[in-house]
Structure 1
Amino acid sequence: MHGPPLIGWGLVALCAAAGIYCLSRTRAGAAGERRAAWGDALMGLGMAAMAVPTGALDARPWGTAAFAAVFGAVGLHALAPARARAEASRAHDGHQLHHAVGAFAMVYMALAMAHSPTAGHGGVHHLGAGHEPAGTPLLTGVLLVYFAVYVVRAVARIVPAPAMVPGEPPWPGPERAYGSGLTRACRLSMGIGMLAMLLTM
């Protein structure tokens, strides 16, 4: 990432923690939930790797190619019609579409920063005074709007309006609420991380 190192390392920690938690969820739940957890884990860990501040690692041309290849494959896999038909519910289908958008956003960021006219040694772009932003402003703006809306909706899901139904408890069981709440918090964290990474372009 090409912003302040402190923000970069904070994003690394946030995304890595989210990815590791999602990885721990890949053995629980229904098949659709496990697939979603795998996708979340891959996105979180991939974002952690991309958020490492510029200069902390020796940049090589194969780094950009590897990110583009891996996340391009992830995005295509998430969009595959057979995968969509195999999902158990529309909620899982929607999350697979979100995975696809996130994966292609990662490909876009990697390629845009590597091919920026102001890229430094090894194809790494440094954002700062006197440097032009990487990527296409219109596409970057569209992605920023998408992830901003996603974050707002994720916050609304984490803090729902209480609905009292006669004869039913106001909240789910503690184990279900704990797992669901943490999963949503991890997805919210990754959405915020994606916003922060796009803003550094």
Structure 2
Amino acid sequence: MTNNIEKIYSDFIINFENKSDFVIDFYEKNSIYFNNIKQFKDKKELSLYIEMLCKYAEAIYQKNRYNLTLDIIAKKLLFIDNEIQRLNAAEIMDCRYYSLLFVKGMSSYYLKDYKTATPIFKELVHIDNQNDLYKKWLTYSKYGLNLWLVKMINIVCGGFVLIQMVFDSQINNYFSIVLLVIGLLGLLTNWSYEYYIGRNFRKANEN
């Protein structure tokens, strides 16, 4: 297996093109071999495989095939984790390994599965708390997780403003002002938060 996987990796690096189609075609051309790997001889083989799998998962993700991306990672990550444990290769859990988790988190986010995405980003931030990209995606995911609350605040605060406008003459003047202030402050705060999250999310996807 050593010669096989090293040869495949060598071909991958020598002919590498930084294009999703190249990575997908290359991996799928060798899919029979990859799908029939039972175990790795050593840490080097495992490391080479993780790198190629990471590139493949990222390429599928870039094609917006989020369900497929999650299926691939789910099938392979358990196998990889078992091999890491068997080979006592904890040091292999480096940036390439964590990239798989990152892609899993982003795919879950785009599928609006914030309950899955948020813990992944929390784990990544815990592992590398200096990584601003991890922190941003954790913020986006938390926003998605709490979106129901954001919508509820908009409804309640909008209701306060509407009540004040419709029933102003029938409500105590002081209470009317309080309703208006609470409603407007709530709406402005919520809208500012939504604008901030949306703007940063767009910028992150443009880079």
Instruction: Decide which structure has greater helix share.
Output: 2
Per the normalisation by structure 2, the TM-score is: 0.36
